[in-house]
Amino acid sequence: MTEEAIKKPLIPQGWLRVLLFGAGFCVLTLLIAIPAVLYLAGVTTEELQEQLVPTLEGLLTGNYLWLMILLEFFISGICVVIFRLWIDRRKLSDLGWSTDGFTTEAVMGLFMGPALLGIAALLMLASGHLAWVDISWDPSSLFVSLGLMAIIAFSEELAFRGYVLNNLMESFSNKWVALILSAVVFAAFHFTSPGIFALDFVNLFLAGLLLGLNYIYTKNLWYSFFFHFSWNFFQGPILGFRVSGLTFPSLLQAETKGDLFITGGDFGLEGSILTTLVAVIALCVLAWAFERKYNGPAVTTA
């Protein structure tokens, strides 16, 4: 067998590899995460069978949030390694972790999260729906939250952009179709997040578009990783909002009041219509900027 034949994916269709990847993630969750939760959190099999979603929501909002985050990281890593090496038959480094030439994108991603969320939060503050009532300085809690946010960003970017979007781009010649489908998968993954409703799902879909937008041009993960990390860290541990319905110790103590359509309710700032507006505007601007940068007309000289 030639080297070229060996490098061909075991399953030719990228979209099918994505479906199997999702199935594999579910199987590993059943084999690893569920037994770990049953053992460490003291949840009975009957409780899990009778109230699966409420039980998972309780674990995500309780003392075992760290466990759920580490399990997600572990399972995502195992799935990506197995599918990338033995199904895709490609190198892990080809997922997009090269730093050469992508420093600007990484720095841009790092500042995008605070910029967009800051605008949404200031709009909420100006409309009278938000007040910061206190400051709680706890360096150890901030450091732990920093680590947890980095783990979340790494595992989800590795899975949803590095693997899912990468394979969908192999199946669909139109990169926008691949991006939209990956964003749907990303939003669906958060279906069990506490307090999620229709607008929250829409905003998660928009977040998936924002996070994957640079990848369809560069196939590099550093932009989305730093964007994802700074978005979560600035939103929760700094501004004091819930992160996709999850509560973290925060520097600023936020109190919201009024229309849940504006405040986001129990889901946090990600569930606000203000975040929707900011995300849509950011998508249009970034799509224009990336298209101009990577596919703009070549400069000719006389």
pLDDT tens digits, 45-58? 676 666 655 666 56
Tokens standing for residue 282: 């950011």
Tokens standing for residue 141: 């809690």
Query: Rounded to 10 degrees, what is the CA torsion of 19, 227, 229, 268?
Result: -90
Would you state the pLDDT for residue 62? 59
Q: How far apart, in Å, are the Cα atoms of 142 and each of 25, 57, 236, 248?
A: 30, 23, 10, 9
Would you state the pLDDT for residue 6? 55
Instruction: Indicate the domain borders of the chain.
Output: 3-295
Would you state the pLDDT for residue 3? 46
Tokens standing for residue 113: 């999260």
Q: Which stretches of the chain score pLDDT less than 70?
A: 1-6, 40-41, 43-45, 47-63, 297-302
Query: Cβ of 68: how many Cβ atoms within 10 Å?
Result: 18
Nearest of 55, 54, 33 to residue 44 by alpha carbon: 55
pLDDT tens digits, 184-217? 999 999 887 777 888 999 999 999 999 999 999 9
Would you state the pLDDT for residue 2? 44
In DSSP terms, which residues pair with 132 in a beta bridge? Answer: 254
pLDDT tens digits, 160-190? 999 999 999 999 999 999 999 999 999 999 8
E-strand spans in the chain?
A: 130-135, 252-256
Would you state the pLDDT for residue 41? 67
Distance CA 266, CA 260 (A): 9
Would you state the pLDDT for residue 287? 96
